[in-house]
Chain A
Amino acid sequence: MATQTDPEWKKGSAELLVLSLLEDQPRHGYDLSKLIQLRSGGALSFHVTSLYPLLHRLEKLKWIEGRWVEKAGERRRRFYSLTTLGRKTLRSKQQSWRDFVASVSRVTGIEHA
């Protein structure tokens, strides 16, 4: 995240971001980092040094699954896709994120932008 926040928050939201982006199709690391940057209009960006450990961790949790794919003339790439457990986790995280944002909004008096 661009702003300085509690690492717990960042960790939580980063997982949510990655899982969301993998919802539709498998992607590789570079793809993910570009998409986060693009879709947030540059407000959010992932450092390469935090992105890959995060992906490996999600894989260890069996939320995502990595697979090496080779293409002629290119270096092989590792594509990540969502597992069934990952999909469930994503649902629950989306819900609690919505709850959380709603609570924060109620407290701070900020309505949904």
Chain B
Amino acid sequence: MLKPTSESIRADVIQRLQSLGLSGREEFDLAEEIAQHVEDRLRELTAGGTEQREAYRVALAELEDLDALRAGVEKNRLMAHHEPIPAGSPAPARLWEGLWKDLRYAVRGMKRSPVFVLFVVLTLAIGIGANTTVFTLINTLILSPLPVKEPARLVAVAAVDPRNTARSSALFPVAYADLDNYRAQNRVFESLAAFTSPRGMTLLEHGSPGAMFGELVSSNYFSTLGLTPTRGRFLTAEDAVAGAPPVAVLNYAAWQKRFGGDENICGRELRVNGLRLTVVGVTPDHFLGMNAIFGPDIWVPASLAAQLFPNTMENVLTDRTKAQFEGVARLQPGITEDQARASVAAVSEALRQTYPLTNQGRAGVVRPVREILLGVNGNTASSTIFAGAALFVVVGIVLLIACSNVANLLLARSSARQQELAVRLAMGASRARLMRQLLTESVLLSLLSGAAGILVAYQGLQFLFGRLPAAANFPEPRIDALVLAYTLAASLLTGLLFGTIPAWKASRANVADALRDARSAGLGRRRVTIGKALLVGQVAFSFLLLITAALFLRSIGRAYAINPGFQTEHLAVFPTNPGQAGLSKEQSENFYRDVRRRVSAIPSVLEVSWSSNMPLWAGSSTGFQLEGHAPKSAADQIRAVALTVDRDYFGVSGISLEAGRTFTELDRDGTLPVAIVNEKLARDFWPSGALGRRIRLPGEPVSRQVIGVVRTADYTSWGEPQQDAVYTPLAQHFADSMALYVRTAADPRQILSVVEREIHTAGPGILIFGTRTGSEIIDNGLFQAKMGVGLLTIFGLVALGLASIGLYGVLAYSVNQRRREIGLRMALGASRAAVVRLIVAQGMTLVGIGVILGLAASLAAGAALSRMLFGIAATDPLSIALAAALLSTIALLACYLPARRATQVDPLDSLRQA
């Protein structure tokens, strides 16, 4: 054979490469290189004495293994998108490229185990979602409740009880005239505005009454806050001049929800409390006034107070005994809160000197504006913040449990991946590099969970806020940039938290051990130890939450058993407000009489009466003067609940008479002024007998004679500490808003609409605001506690579920690890029962340790808990037993399942495997 030429060699090579389907350029280059190789090989062989034809056959034969070539070429082609194992130690400049590779690798890994990913994402989404929900609440209510200009320069001006010197003591309203003095006599405020809390008002629309809320404000209210109207204008000084046309500013949400965002809203006339108010402007969106939780529908000038509320607010702008306003002030630039505090204190002291009769016993103070924003219904801001913090702790625990559960899962998974990781270490990947890879996977998982968590939070908030009535008065929860940033941070932290330990452990894998045999590697044992520690923590936290839930549950049970001092079973209450419908005193009195007559005629109605307060809605006031008890000092004021009631009231509400008599038809205008006191007041002030003693109510010119003593009841809240109370008869002490009390023979729910129809017939324009049965009154009174139980129970059960899954996982893994040992035991005659006992005991030991730790934690948290419990100690043994029983039952099940699987080990099989 002739010596092959370069051309013929290349042609032969190309012919063999054709089946690879290379592109022209690739094929040419590869053929060129390989042809040269063949030529070199040929030369080598012939030089060694091989015959030309044989040498060429041998050289070409080395090309026969086209599969290897095809695989190599294929691999190179895919290399750009498929590098299954990131190579070791890239230069820092390649960090981003490395990160990108890690991400792609992580995504591929997740695609391979969708069930694992789904489980992790669901677990964490619950934890992150709960945290996001609570953070959104806190963000809405506490962090950014006031959308005004420079809120940092705003302060609250209100009154405190000077005997209570605590810095965070409850704030009380101030008289308008006092605020006027503070405004005129200080050198620290740029401006100071006065406002009331939201008041219920009657809006007459198309002839039928509807409820709305309004605030009375000084004309500089909006300019002090630095707001800009969405439509129209705000109040001006001219609006506050006597005789000026009555105007109102509308809440943005009310404008949208009540008036459909009507573009011609300005100039529209509203009939409120019998007055025609012209809407002049609309507030900016999300502004609810100086209250973070509940806002009004309209703001009206304080100068309209007497016209809107003739009975309660007459002379309210000048009478210093009528403390119904709070102040908000803007500090002058450069003035600190301390300087303002000193200035107001000085004015307050001067007022006390000038008006000793009215201004004793209260002191003007300057507080951070947050305190009036959150200080609702006598709660101080700190109790709202405390509730927020408590919720945060609970959801934090849930997230921790979720994290530790996922960490356990990852540990189990990483032990399954030990060989892969060991190979990568052997091939030169650094440990840091491996840790980064594993952490990338964790963080990717946690970010996915964070996205799912936002959905969970959105649903949760919809659920929570969807239950609130009249949405215009409540803040709307906003998932804003801050909330999203929080969720992102929580997710990243979560990913690092549950990813770090498994990643660190996995990257410490001993290469040689792992390569030799993953199953018996020393790593496995350490993994179980960390897993066990995590598990004990989970059990402890679940137990803590369960104990708390059980405590609240028992506390509510106790609360329902509390006797409030009045009957609730056959009671229905209908609050009305004839004054706001424009009725005069005579008309209102006729209305009260007419309703009594009509409702009494309804079959199954046993008794009817009127009271100025709904049960548990009464507040206390000061300024009572009792015979024989001249106040020792001006600050020593007698505080009591004052109630105006019609005759038969005590029979209807089931408050028993202990001494003397109740009010009769004879107690009316012109006869001897009388009053009835409760047992507590009688015992406190007249232990020798209260009947015939004299008492003077604040603001009344004459003293009343005590004619009866009744049992002490709860007036303000369920299970409250006893309060002093004084009752006056309606016929001698008129009120223009009263609640109808009806005692029925049967279930009061059956007659609600009948009674409402009769009230409507007696007074067509009169609003019935919030009809309630006795049991609804209790439910409302216990709403907070019930909400607490609901949330705690849900979170407690979620935590227990997660911990049980973790327990199951760790035990199942351990059973798998000990197959050989178990097989051996059974081969040597251990019974199935003994094996079950062995495994269950192992699991329950962990549970036992967790329970003890959880118990210790619950005792430590007892002090904080006890202030939220009714008549039950935080160490209540029954609650603890209840929680322990529930936890043990579920934990036992979680242990038993893997234990039973252990007994199904075939001794022969497991020994052979080993």
Interface of B (DSSP majority class): helix
Known A-B contacts A48-B63, A49-B63, A75-B6; A100 and B511 likewise in contact (beta carbons under 8 Å): yes
User: Is B40 on the interface with A (CB-CB < 8 A)?
Assistant: yes
A13–B40 alpha-carbon span in the complex (Å): 25
Known A-B contacts A12-B427, A30-B41, A104-B512; A52 and B34 likewise in contact (beta carbons under 8 Å): yes
Known A-B contacts A75-B36, A100-B511, A103-B511; A47 and B68 likewise in contact (beta carbons under 8 Å): yes
A50–B76 alpha-carbon span in the complex (Å): 12
Known A-B contacts A103-B512, A104-B512; A53 and B76 likewise in contact (beta carbons under 8 Å): yes
Known A-B contacts A8-B423, A100-B426; A49 and B69 likewise in contact (beta carbons under 8 Å): yes
Q: In chain A, what residue has the closest Cβ to B88?
A: A92
Contacts of A54 in B (CB 8 A): 72
| Total A-B residue contacts, Cβ distance less than 8 Å | 102
Task: Give A91 Cβ to nearest chain B Cβ, in Å.
Answer: 9
Contacts of B40 in A (CB 8 A): 30
Task: Give A86 Cβ to nearest chain B Cβ, in Å.
Answer: 12
0 or 1 for each of A7-37: is its CB under 8 Å from B? (1 = yes): 0100010000000000000001110010000
Known A-B contacts A49-B65, A53-B75; A96 and B88 likewise in contact (beta carbons under 8 Å): yes
- In the complex, are the beta carbons of A50 and B511 less than 8 A apart? no
- In the complex, are the beta carbons of B62 and A47 less than 8 A apart? yes
Counting chain B CB atoms within 10 Å of each CB, the highest count among A54, A56, A77, A104 belongs to A56
Task: Give A31 Cβ to nearest chain B Cβ, in Å.
Answer: 9
Task: Give B82 Cβ to nearest chain A Cβ, in Å.
Answer: 12
Q: How many residues of B contact A (CB 8 A)?
A: 42
Which chain A residues numbered 83 to 103 have a C-beta less than 8 Å away from chain B? 85, 88-89, 92-93, 95-97, 99-100, 103
User: Is A39 on the interface with B (CB-CB < 8 A)?
Assistant: no
Contacts of A30 in B (CB 8 A): 36-37, 40-41
Which chain B residues numbered 68 to 116 have a C-beta less than 8 Å away from chain A? 68-69, 71-73, 75-76, 79-80, 85, 87-89, 91
Known A-B contacts A57-B76, A88-B91; A12 and B428 likewise in contact (beta carbons under 8 Å): yes
User: Is A107 on the interface with B (CB-CB < 8 A)?
Assistant: yes
A79–B384 alpha-carbon span in the complex (Å): 77
Known A-B contacts A53-B73, A54-B72, A100-B426; A92 and B512 likewise in contact (beta carbons under 8 Å): no
Contacts of A56 in B (CB 8 A): 30, 72-73, 76
Partner among B33, B68, B72 whose Cβ is within 8 Å of the Cβ of A78: B33
User: Is A67 on the interface with B (CB-CB < 8 A)?
Assistant: no
User: Is B679 on the interface with A (CB-CB < 8 A)?
Assistant: no
Contacts of B75 in A (CB 8 A): 53, 57
Q: In chain B, what residue has the closest Cβ to A53?
A: B72
- In the complex, are the beta carbons of B30 and A52 less than 8 A apart? yes
Q: In chain B, what residue has the closest Cβ to A11?
A: B427
User: Is A60 on the interface with B (CB-CB < 8 A)?
Assistant: yes
- In the complex, are the beta carbons of A49 and B66 less than 8 A apart? yes
Known A-B contacts A47-B68, A49-B63; A92 and B30 likewise in contact (beta carbons under 8 Å): no
0 or 1 for each of A56-83: is its CB under 8 Å from B? (1 = yes): 1100110000000000000111100000
Task: Give B525 Cβ to nearest chain A Cβ, in Å.
Answer: 18
A92–B429 alpha-carbon span in the complex (Å): 9
Which chain B residues numbered 23 to 42 have a C-beta less than 8 Å away from chain A? 29-30, 32-41
Partner among B32, B91, B423, B430 whose Cβ is within 8 Å of the Cβ of A85: B91
A95–B29 alpha-carbon span in the complex (Å): 34
Counting chain A CB atoms within 10 Å of each CB, the highest count among B85, B423, B512, B513 belongs to B512
Known A-B contacts A48-B62, A75-B6, A88-B91; A57 and B34 likewise in contact (beta carbons under 8 Å): no
Task: Give B650 Cβ to nearest chain A Cβ, in Å.
Answer: 91
User: Is B3 on the interface with A (CB-CB < 8 A)?
Assistant: no
Known A-B contacts A30-B41, A47-B65; A8 and B427 likewise in contact (beta carbons under 8 Å): yes
User: Is B629 on the interface with A (CB-CB < 8 A)?
Assistant: no
Known A-B contacts A50-B68, A53-B75; A96 and B32 likewise in contact (beta carbons under 8 Å): no
A54-B72, A97-B428 given. 13 additional CB < 8 A pairs? Answer: A12-B427, A29-B33, A48-B37, A53-B75, A61-B79, A75-B6, A77-B36, A93-B88, A95-B428, A100-B511, A104-B512, A107-B513, A107-B516
Could you list which residues of chain B lie within 8 angstroms of chain A, going by C-beta atoms?
A: 6, 29-30, 32-41, 62-63, 65-66, 68-69, 71-73, 75-76, 79-80, 85, 87-89, 91, 423, 425-428, 430, 510-513, 516
Closest CB pairs A-B (n = 6): A53-B72, A49-B69, A96-B428, A103-B512, A30-B40, A107-B512
